[in-house]
Amino acid sequence: MKSSVSARYLLAHRDNRHVLVDHGTVVHEDGVVVYAGPTSGAPEAESHRDLGDALIMPGLIDLDALSDIDHLILDSWAGGELARGHLWSEEYFRERRADVFTPEERQDIRHYALIQLALHGITTFMPIASEIHSSWAESFDELAGMAETSRQIGLRAFLGPAYRSGVNVALGDGTVGVLFDEERGREGLKDAVRFLDYAEQLGDPLVTGVLLPCRIETLTRELLDETARVSRERDALVRLHSLQGLAERALVIERHGMTPLELLDDAGLLGERLLVPHALFLDRNSRVHGEDRGDLARLAASGASIVHCPLTSMRYGEALDSFPAYVEAGVRIALGTDSFPPDLVRGIDAGWHLANIVEGRRDAARLADYVDAATLGGARALRRPDLGRLSPGAQADFVAFGLGDLRDGVHEDPVRTLILNGTARQCVLSVVAGRTIVEDGALAGHDLAWWRRRGQELFDKMRSAYSERDERRRSAGELFPPVYAREP
């Protein structure tokens, strides 16, 4: 059955680029787009909906998508002893590692997070969760449960359990380093391979298995090499957080005798199957060498994709040193949120303006490049040319953002209006593979008031658990002081 959706604005795809259509319509059948263009030329459909003052665009692709109760609200502003208190203590690592949440609570956390993704216009995601609240990392069962939740909601998921050989720890000598439990790393990779088999056996086009090792400094060379081998043999994507900090760089050089980028290449990971969240600290960064010694060209030539998370980077006091330079070098760029809110509209806004601030001119970065990264860039990283665009033959994955509220302001260019004036909370419709999952800003089958209360309960438990890991056993009130003193 053909279905169609129309709106005042449509971001369609022609000749390998997005184009804006006034008064546009998307027509889809059997989960595939059959038409995307002017309403006047749209074929007849059995069902039709007109969204009025809204922008229909390809579904947003979030390749570092928050899948837990966010910790950034607690730790993005902390430094010194407070920041140290947010890590595992050495004593906790060696003697008292434990799961904060029960398996059932973990599934509720996943469900809460996926609800947030859907409501913010994310149609395709690759998850990221903090492992600090687990006894080690993620299990097969945890991700199998998440896959079922994602299928229930109707999102397009690229999933696998996160695994690692080590963890960043506040050491007893006052420094911060990585302590290892190599057998847990091997077990984690076995779970990851098992999940690849599970995803394949599901036979659901909305669930794809991928390899999601944790931060590069927490992996042994053995685990890196084995990850590369499995990726080659299974043609599986690998996402590995790296090139994201000076501490990481120092730890990798000390342990492996080479930079993180060199290590990725030497291990056989640097190629088109690799996704690198952040990628902030190449040689050109002012806090590394401050000059281009070939890292950018090496990254571009490899075909790897970076997952740029501008809103999260900004909150931790970082920024890509030159977004235009990455674009001009031909580096593949996708976007991620990496924290709450999973709002790529706000992320694009932050990234666009940060790029211009860093370059010192307001026309340095093109807004189109950021929107492309959230759609076409994500599709390229996933090796899915049928995603990230609205043209015949593409998957019917699309979202619509309302622009009809007085608070949205005036319409000049609807894309600029959305990015400059709006947020992804204006999502009024989300369709994945032809199935409507968000309509009129609501998620079918979900009591959002109940989920808000449940999310708060789980967050409060998570916040309290920091005291157990802190080497000084400070209370949550001490570790997370309020903005203003609270009266008793």
Phi, psi of 182 (to 5 degrees): -65, -30
> Is pLDDT above 90 for 56?
yes
User: Are 125 and 161 in contact, with CB atoms under 8 Å apart?
Assistant: no
β-strands 54-58, 3-14: how paired? parallel
**137 falls in which pLDDT band (50, 70, 90)?**
very high
> Is pLDDT above 90 for 38?
yes
Per DSSP, the residues of 355-372 read HHHHHTSTTSS-HHHHHH
> Is pLDDT above 90 for 113?
yes
Q: What is the per-residue pLDDT for 71?
A: 85
CA nearest 105: which of 68, 140, 79, 135?
A: 68
Domains and CATH numbers, the chain: 3-58+393-443 (2.30.40.10), 60-382 (3.20.20.140)
Rounded to an integer, what distance in angstroms lies between the CA atom of residue 291 and that of residue 277? 22
Mean pLDDT score of the chain, rounded to an integer?
Answer: 96
Rounded to an integer, what distance in angstroms lies between the CA atom of residue 159 and that of residue 468? 30
CA nearest 155: which of 399, 393, 441, 347?
A: 399
pLDDT tens-digit readout, 150-177: 999 999 999 999 999 999 999 999 999 9
Dihedral (Cα; 342, 345, 346, 351), 10-degree rounding: 110
Q: Report residue 267 as tokens.
A: 């291990």
Residues 6 or more apart in contact with residue 459 via CB below 8 angstroms: 69
Residues 6 or more apart in contact with residue 439 via CB below 8 angstroms: 428, 429
> Is pLDDT above 90 for 443?
yes
User: Are 212 and 160 in contact, with CB atoms under 8 Å apart?
Assistant: yes
Q: What is the per-residue pLDDT for 32?
A: 98
Count, in order, helices (H) and strands (E) of the chain.
18, 22
Q: Could you identify the residue written with the tokens 């033959």? A: 393
Rounded to an integer, what distance in angstroms lies between the CA atom of residue 2 and that of residue 284? 51
> Is pLDDT above 90 for 25?
yes
pLDDT tens-digit readout, 224-281: 999 999 999 999 999 999 999 999 999 999 999 999 999 999 999 999 999 999 999 9
Give the dihedral sign, CA 56/57/59/64: negative
CA nearest 468: which of 91, 72, 83?
A: 91
Angle at 44 between CA 38 and CA 45, to 5 degrees: 105
Taking residue 149's Cβ as centre, other Cβ atoms within 10 Å add up to 19
User: Are 332 and 381 in contact, with CB atoms under 8 Å apart?
Assistant: yes
Q: What is the per-residue pLDDT for 17?
A: 97
User: Are 115 and 454 in contact, with CB atoms under 8 Å apart?
Assistant: no
Rounded to an integer, what distance in angstroms lies between the CA atom of residue 163 and that of residue 185? 6
Rounded to an integer, what distance in angstroms lies between the CA atom of residue 342 and that of residue 113? 9
> Is pLDDT above 90 for 23?
yes
Q: Which residue stretches of 158-245 are H helix?
A: 182-202, 221-234
pLDDT tens-digit readout, 202-212: 999 999 999 99
Residues 6 or more apart in contact with residue 16 via CB below 8 angstroms: none
Share of the chain above pLDDT 70, in %: 100
Q: What is the per-residue pLDDT for 190?
A: 98
Q: What is the per-residue pLDDT for 486?
A: 85
> Is pLDDT above 90 for 484?
yes
**414 falls in which pLDDT band (50, 70, 90)?**
very high
User: Are 45 and 2 in contact, with CB atoms under 8 Å apart?
Assistant: yes
Q: What is the per-residue pLDDT for 114?
A: 98
Rounded to an integer, what distance in angstroms lies between the CA atom of residue 254 and that of residue 104? 40
Determine the longest span between alpha carbons in the chain, in angstroms.
Answer: 72
Give the dihedral sign, CA 443/449/450/456: positive
Q: What is the per-residue pLDDT for 400?
A: 98
**487 falls in which pLDDT band (50, 70, 90)?**
confident
Taking residue 268's Cβ as centre, other Cβ atoms within 10 Å add up to 15
Mean pLDDT, rounded, for 378-400 = 98
CA dist 205 → 147, 156, 191, 273, 464 (Å): 12, 8, 21, 19, 39
3-state SS, residue 466: helix
**Element holding 455 (H helix, E strand):** helix 448-469
CA nearest 221: which of 168, 273, 262?
A: 262
pLDDT tens-digit readout, 309-344: 999 999 999 999 999 999 999 999 999 999 999 999
Q: Which amino acid is at 28?
A: H
Q: What is the per-residue pLDDT for 80?
A: 87
pTM score, whole prediction: 0.97
Strand arrangement of the beta sheet that strand 166-170 belongs to: 88-89, 166-170, 176-180
